[in-house]
């Protein structure tokens, strides 16, 4: 599937105005492999990311077709019971072949 920049910007604008899933996630940079906090918005099968929640132009987009998400729950410090599990979730997107 091909998108030009105008089409992606239009979809990103719709994503910001739509009531869809959004929030802060960490994204690993491709050049230095460091983790950066970014504002993400999921719209249909696209994951847009922005510098912060006030940005109107996306820094990039990830096409989610053929990807899946795995939720990891880590135990809190000291104990491993369900009541002390950390409430933060990490999502990893893997591209299938």
- Structural domain includes residue 48: yes
List, in order, residues 6 or more apart from 34 with CB less than 8 Å away.
28
The yes-or-no verdict on residue 15 having pLDDT over 70 is yes
Question: Burial code of 44-75, b = ≥16 C-beta within 10 A, e = fewer?
Answer: eebbbbbeeeeeeebeebeeeeeeeeeeeeee
Q: State how many domains the chain has.
A: 1
Residue 48 Cα to chain centre, angstroms: 7
Task: Find the domain containing 68 and state its range.
Answer: 5-72+86-96
Predicted pLDDT at 3: 74
pTM assigned to the model: 0.68
What is the tens place of the pLDDT at every residue in 22-77?
Answer: 899 888 887 888 888 999 998 988 889 999 999 989 998 888 887 776 666 666 56
CATH of the domain at 15: 2.30.29.30
| 28 beta partners | 35
Is residue 80 a part of any domain in this protein?
Answer: no
């Amino acid at each position: 599937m091909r998108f030009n920049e105008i089409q992606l910007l239009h979809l990103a604008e719709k994503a910001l105005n739509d009531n869809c899933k959004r929030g802060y996630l960490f994204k690993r940079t491709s050049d230095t492999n460091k983790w950066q906090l970014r504002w993400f918005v999921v719209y249909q099968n696209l994951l847009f990311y922005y510098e912060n929640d006030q940005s109107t132009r996306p820094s990039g987009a990830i096409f989610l077709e053929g990807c899946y998400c795995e939720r990891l729950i880590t135990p809190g410090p000291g104990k491993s019971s369900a009541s002390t599990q950390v409430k933060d979730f990490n999502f990893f997107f893997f591209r299938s072949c």
